[in-house]
Structure 1
Amino acid sequence: MKLTAPYTVIYQDDDIVVLNKRSGLLIAQDRYNPDAPRLDVEAEKEFGKLYAVHRIDKDTSGIVVYARKAEAHKNISMQFEKHEVKKIYHCLINGRPLWKELHVDLPLQPDGDARHRTVVNKKFGKKSITDFKVIGECGPYTWIEARPLTGRTHQIRVHLAENKFCIVCDPLYSGNQKPIRLSEIKKRYNGDTQEERPLLSRLALHAYKITFIHPSTGKEVTFAAPYQKDMDSTRKQLAKIYGADPLKEEAADSTGLQED
């Protein structure tokens, strides 16, 4: 089966490159699997030397920012270090929370068990904060917006898991890795279930939007990454069946935003 392109370009200039990566690619070399496919290796074929300023999980799709110069790398990295960068993720979880918004403040320790998972550790963990909001209820699933105020490994996944919710098809933090199939959510499905391909069979977590100060202009910039094809097909089908669309909810909220 042919894989989709490793990335699409959202924006580029002399200082930065903003990419929308597919799920399954590392951002940089991994000590556990040095030969795994990497986004930086693929992107450097097009852009030359790139400097990673942040990371998202291998299984997560969406926005990745690289610097093209050492000065830009230092500038943006410092913004991340000071928690000045605003990040928005969208994910699809199993189940329906009783809350509409949830603030999670639980210290996390990466690589905390034999499976290299991040764990809550109130003694040795680092401060980790995520704000969650429901942006679409779709029968047995719920679309969630996550705004991590810190950048710990697997932070969103662990903070949800600690509150008894798991992201669809999460291979590390969920006991339910069942893919989403149209035949199981559509009442009158006419296709062949034996030949049916899942709508979504990978971690349903997408780095959707990022805001930071451009290293050269000094102006605030915001970039958004369209959902990957599998996640967008799932969104469209769930919207048809259940009438809830996370992108429409997000767009409706943004129209009411005002700058200070």
Structure 2
Amino acid sequence: MPLSSISIVYQDHDLLVVNKPTLLLSVPGRAENNKDSLIQRLNQNGYPDALIVHRLDWETTGLMVLARNAAAHSELSRQFRERLVARTYTALCWGQLAARQGQIELPMRYDPPNKPRQTLDFLQGKTARTYWRKLSTHESHTRVELSPHTGRSHQLRVHLNALGHPILGDPLYAHNDALNAAPRLCLHATTLDFYHPATQQPLRFGCPAEF
């Protein structure tokens, strides 16, 4: 598959920063018809050394960092594991958020009967924390900045839905009105801050949402 849909934001000998398009897996799925992915396209189109460090959902767009050697992969993985990487997302969520900012702390777990959905679980769920800040208010929705403290699968989608403000265009969690309010999931990884794996220089990348 072509690389044209993936924008290379930055590259050097140790890492790549890319802007992932929507409807593209970060890594290949298990099914034979689900092999097309960001890492596969990069590996086959000029970046055979690219290694996945973290993921974005199939529908989510935005910034991802990839390593280009084993040492960089180990160091970047450590930064994610120790929560040294700062990320913000832009989202459009249903309705009007009353406060200007807030924090969501609701434990989550995988929901096997409803794969690939996640669910809230106050007994067996893993800690999940999201900070949010209102950017602008519109007639039927609110534009928000989201900062995940933890990195649970679907965390931002589940947390906003739990508040009664699902992300527009979300096929897994949004009610029909919110689902039909946008042609795609309105969730974009906007900024990414981390330390260069070789030099430890602080790096910051930004990529505005296109919705």
TM range, normalised to the smaller chain?
over 0.9
Stretches (4+) displaced over 4 A: none
Structure 1 residue 26 corresponds to structure 2 residue 32: no
8 Å CA contact 1:9–1:19 kept in 2: the answer is: yes
8 Å CA contact 1:118–1:153 kept in 2: the answer is: yes
The residue number in structure 1 matching 2:144 is: 144
SS of 1:42 mapped into structure 2: helix
User: 1:28 offset after TM fit, Å?
Assistant: 0.7
Higher fraction of strand: 2
Question: For the residues of structure 1 that align with 2:126 and 2:198, how far apart are their CA atoms?
Answer: 32
Question: For the residues of structure 1 that align with 2:85 and 2:30, how far apart are their CA atoms?
Answer: 26
Write the mapping of 1:1-260 to structure 2, written as runs, cut at 5 A.
5-31=4-30, 35-44=34-43, 45-176=45-176, 177-180=179-182, 201-228=183-210, 231=211
- Closer, same or farther: CA 32–127 of 1 in aligned 2, 3 Å: farther
Once structures 1 and 2 are overlaid, which stretch shifts more, 163-172 or 29-38? 29-38
8 Å CA contact 1:4–1:22 kept in 2: the answer is: no
- Closer, same or farther: CA 36–136 of 1 in aligned 2, 3 Å: farther
SS of 2:130 mapped into structure 1: strand
SS of 1:98 mapped into structure 2: coil
TM-score normalized with structure 2 length: 0.92
Question: For the residues of structure 2 that align with 1:32 and 1:166, how far apart are their CA atoms?
Answer: 29
User: 1:32 offset after TM fit, Å?
Assistant: 5.9
8 Å CA contact 1:112–1:119 kept in 2: the answer is: no
Counterpart amino acid of residue 46 in structure 2: E
User: 1:49 offset after TM fit, Å?
Assistant: 2.2
In the comparison of the two structures, how many residue pairs are matched?
Answer: 207
User: 1:34 offset after TM fit, Å?
Assistant: 6.0
User: 1:125 offset after TM fit, Å?
Assistant: 1.2
Question: For the residues of structure 2 that align with 1:33 and 1:154, how far apart are their CA atoms?
Answer: 24
- Closer, same or farther: CA 4–70 of 1 in aligned 2, 3 Å: closer
TM-score normalized with structure 1 length: 0.76
User: 1:112 offset after TM fit, Å?
Assistant: 4.4
- Closer, same or farther: CA 118–32 of 1 in aligned 2, 3 Å: farther
Question: For the residues of structure 2 that align with 1:72 and 1:106, how far apart are their CA atoms?
Answer: 33
Question: For the residues of structure 1 that align with 2:163 and 2:31, how far apart are their CA atoms?
Answer: 29
SS of 1:46 mapped into structure 2: coil
User: 1:115 offset after TM fit, Å?
Assistant: 3.3
Identity, in percent, stands at 32
Counterpart amino acid of residue 168 in structure 1: L
Question: For the residues of structure 1 that align with 2:9 and 2:91, how far apart are their CA atoms?
Answer: 20
Question: For the residues of structure 1 that align with 2:132 and 2:31, how far apart are their CA atoms?
Answer: 30
Counterpart amino acid of residue 52 in structure 1: I
SS of 2:158 mapped into structure 1: helix
User: 1:87 offset after TM fit, Å?
Assistant: 0.5
Question: For the residues of structure 2 that align with 1:113 and 1:61, how far apart are their CA atoms?
Answer: 27
RMSD: 1.8
Larger Rg: 1
User: 1:35 offset after TM fit, Å?
Assistant: 1.9
